[in-house]
Chain A
Amino acid sequence: MNEIVVTGAEILAACEKVATSGEVTGVQRTYRSLEYSPDKSVPGCGERKGWGLRMIRNGKIGVSGEWGVAKPFSLVDKAIGNCRYGGDATFSFPADSPEPGSAPGNELSELSHDDVLNYLQNMQTLIKQVHPSACLSAGIQWGEDNFIIMNSCGLNGLYSKTRASTRFSVTLPSDTGLLQSGFTVETTSALPVMQDALRILLLPLHSTRLDSLSAVGRKKVVFSPVAFSLLLQAIRTGVSGKLLADGASPLSRLEGKQVISNMLTIRDLPNLQTGAASAPFDSEGVPTYDKTLFEDGVFTGFLHDLGTAAECGVSSTGSSGRNLGEHSKPVCTNIAVDPSMEGSENAIADTGSGILVTSILSAGGGNAASGDFTLDCGRVLLFRRGEIHGFYDGCVLTGNVYEAMSRVVALGSRQFRCGLDLLPFISLDGISVR
């Protein structure tokens, strides 16, 4: 931590000689890793560090970034070059230092390579009990991240957190072809709960092929948490103050109005203790706080960073996010959708008949800004009277996220961790399937 603070101060001092004001962010990541497949595994470790500079010069804003070896004057030079093409600086850097944050001691801090290998071997054993020829491959990286921020107005902030990124993939040869399932989970205190991960991983592994024509038309569609997370991409974009400032948000002038089903409450939780995207302050040093984006389907407001807040005449919501060397933009952190208080875990029984989408291959034809989607699901599962009967291939869903989420049939009774999000299964009616 000390090294990124000292180097950060050198970069800021160099910047202040040529710019009206500057802001330096620094990241240091130390990690251990394990790449796993049943017949081999490779243990690893590593360290990564980088710095980002943002400066205001001649009324323009410029950025630069560097990973690895810090060269303060080179970073300043590049930011000056970027200022020449940069936008107008519509805001000032904040002066109030946020409270520092630190990760509480937890399971991840003590985790060894052997512990992780045992975890994955146990998982492989459990998978083989269900599907003897299935094969698990996985990669887990766990460790500690340290962040610093300092600016010319006197702001100083730092925090650290533990983190584990896990990607699972299961392949299963079958008479109807090779079945595959995979997903990623980001956690902060422990490895993913194995039973939850298995539920998500084993769900798509059905080998009965069905006639494709029976699934075409307007259908009830259940989205697994993995698929639901991708469907929410339009919501993540729509609530961004950047889209509002650009005059392109479909949620413009809808604050306080019913936009989606009253069964849905969607939250952005940057202070969620187990959230991998959690942070006490955002990438501009503004303190974060948990926000409800949609309360019982009513849109409550946009996310802003300093720039979009200034353009829209409001205050930052502490939602700035960016990679080193990039411009800030308002972003969601850990998204959580409240589960239902009753009903089944996977919403299938409550839906009756329809199709279950467990993954989405691509969303290439959609428009995240308007909410229109064209989701290429590849393989989907068909269920009748709450029972899965088999799969069929070549399924495409089309529609608009806001309209689709106005027609909620059922919500699952519990949340699953998927990527950064905490999501239940969701069943939507009237989705166009072809």
Chain B
Amino acid sequence: MQKNRALAEKAVAGSEADFAEIRLVQSSRTSVVQAGLSHVITGPTDQFTGTARVFISNRWGICEFSSPDLMSTALDKAATLAIHSESPPVPFPMIPPACRDTYSEDAVGVPLNDVSLREKTFLCRHYCELLGAFLVTGSARVIYDEVIRDRVVVNSRGTSIREKENLGSMKIQAVLPGGLVAREELALRGSFDRFRGREKHLDRIGRDLLVRETTTSIAPGRSRVILDPELTGILVHEAFGHLVEADFLENNPAVAHLLRAGACVGSECVNIIDDSLLLTQPGSMKWDDEGTPGSRTQLVLNGGIASWLHTMGTASRNGARPTGNARISDPGRTPEARMTCTYMEPGKTPLEKLMLHLDNGLYLKGFMGGATDMDRFSIAVQEVWTVRNGIIHKPVAPVVFSGKVTDVLRSVKDTGNDLQLAGSLAGCSRRGSSPLAVTYGGPHILITDMQVS
């Protein structure tokens, strides 16, 4: 890749465009699926992709190429497209200072690709058997996914960065015949170590699943709830985070006005961060896909909008600075402003006190599925427990909670002191694009008015 990086630097230096950029990605993917006693192993599947992007006379052109030999040709093709484009003109992108650096996390822990496929397969089978032992009639499945990626971004303003990433994920699923599900994903960046020694954790998942076997349902209606850290993270990511992605807001001026800096979107205790520099998390990036350094961006401060997420283009059009959130889901596509590691900041209240503040209500745990219809969301939950007089009482059938994001964030009355982050290698898809790795999280939070169905 170092040789290709040098070729890319030479190609952009020779470009006569107002701005030229080349992105190269060499990746290798492996997956192991263990379902009951059988397993399927796919990969490693290697992939090289390159994307040339050019800005000429206030218009962009873009070209994907499949071999390093084609870099200069791709720049020429992108330039031709930009020159002949009928697009309305856009301002020159806000380009951060030139940066020349390399980041490799190979030295941190045991790199994923240093662990044999035999051990990965063994762990999947071992965990699947452990979980299966709890399920007399149900089924268990363990899926291991791994992406080893080497990414280079070079542009005509002197930036040349290279970032090597080891991304791994282990998904655990147990399903009982009635449809009751326990599902969990541990996704990480860097070291394989955290995938080892999860026996006790699996034991707890299995036991909890059996305890939760119930047919008792609750009537739909409004309720006081406590969300666990994973659901807090999902709420922050799905319901709120997509709304402050600047390229979405540019197309929706009315929403942009509602979410202008300082606008109140939550209660005083709501503080939301996007931090792409949490480099053990799968959503992190030392530099984004435009070569902008990653950063910690305060999105909401004491309930008020503090910033949006920006690319170089959206920053320029909105008089802001790029926040290091330009991400590309598929080669050949323009970088979009996307979340990286997004979470709600913790408060000071321990969970026991939150339960006492809740008094009577529901304790919701574990993400099952859900998405956003932009300012409205709907999230399915794995586990639901009733709480009486501040004490967890009994499990009831899984529910869906929904609402308008600003109404819900304004109903957050307290935040716990127990920040936890979760993530997924394929956690975030937008407008039909391929999913991106993201991290999300937060503390336990108390919400006093939530629609539960």
Interface residues of A (CB under 8 A from B): 31, 33, 35, 37-50, 63-69, 71, 74, 78, 81-82, 85-87, 113-114, 117, 133, 135, 137, 139, 167, 169, 171, 173, 177-180, 182, 184, 212-213, 216, 246, 324-327, 361-367, 372, 374, 376-379, 393-396, 434
Contacts and interface: CB of A to CB of B under 8 A. Distances in A.
Ranked nearest first, the 7 interchain pairs of A and B with the lowest CB-CB distance are A364-B369, A46-B64, A68-B48, A394-B402, A362-B369, A325-B45, A173-B254
A268 to B, nearest CB: 23
B373 A47 contact: no
A132 to B, nearest CB: 12
B453 A361 contact: no
Nearest to A181: B373
Nearest to A136: B251
Contacts of B371: 361-362, 376, 378
Nearest to B252: A171
A43 B61 contact: yes
B389 interface: no
Given A180-B374, A324-B45, A394-B400, A81 B117 contact: yes
Nearest to A364: B369
Interface in B47-70: 47-49, 51, 60-68, 70
Nearest to A62: B41
A365 B183 CA distance: 10
A377 B68 CA distance: 45
B431 A169 contact: yes
A283 to B, nearest CB: 14
A203 to B, nearest CB: 14
Range of interface residues on B (Cβ < 8 Å) = 35 or more
A63 B30 CA distance: 12
B42 interface: yes
Given A74-B46, A85-B39, A114-B86, A135 B332 contact: no
A410 B47 CA distance: 47
Interface in B22-47: 38-47
Interface in B353-377: 368-377
Given A65-B43, A78-B44, A393-B404, 4 more contacts: A43-B85, A50-B47, A82-B41, A135-B251
A74 B48 CA distance: 14
Contact of B88 (A39, A86, A173): A39
A231 to B, nearest CB: 15
Give the secondary structure class of A's interface: strand
Contacts of B298: none
29 contacts: A42-B85, A43-B62, A44-B332, A45-B64, A46-B64, A50-B47, A65-B43, A66-B45, A82-B43, A85-B41, A113-B81, A113-B85, A137-B431, A167-B432, A169-B431, A171-B255, A361-B371, A363-B369, A364-B368, A365-B398, A366-B179, A367-B179, A376-B369, A376-B370, A376-B371, A376-B400, A393-B402, A393-B403, A434-B220
B406 to A, nearest CB: 9
A365 B368 contact: yes
Contacts of A117: 86-87
A63 B49 CA distance: 21
Contacts of B45: 64-67, 324-326
B334 interface: yes
A378 B373 contact: yes
Contacts of B432: 139, 167, 182, 184
A45 B40 contact: no
Given A365-B369, A374-B179, A40 B252 contact: no
Q: Which residue, of A42, A49, A117, A133, has the highest number of chain B Cβ atoms within 10 A?
A: A42
A68 B81 contact: no
Given A44-B333, A68-B66, A376-B400, A434 B453 contact: yes
A127 to B, nearest CB: 13
Given A41-B85, A43-B61, A178 B375 contact: yes
Contacts of B415: none
B98 interface: no
Contacts of A41: 85-88
Contact of B252 (A43, A74, A173, A327): A173
Contacts of A182: 431-432
B257 to A, nearest CB: 9
B175 interface: yes
Contacts of A38: 251
Contacts of B453: 212, 394-396, 434
B294 interface: no
Contacts of B81: 43-45, 113
B90 interface: yes
Interface string B162-187: 00000000000001000101000000
Contacts of A49: 66
A376 B252 contact: no
A39 B43 CA distance: 42
A296 B402 CA distance: 39
Contacts of B403: 393-394
A433 to B, nearest CB: 9
Nearest to B60: A42
B380 A67 contact: no
Interface string B377-404: 1101000000000000000001011111
B47 A66 contact: yes
A364 B379 CA distance: 10
A95 to B, nearest CB: 27
Contacts of A394: 220, 378, 400-403, 451, 453
A69 B87 contact: no
Interface in B238-285: 250-252, 254-255
Given A39-B250, A113-B85, A394-B400, A376 B373 contact: no
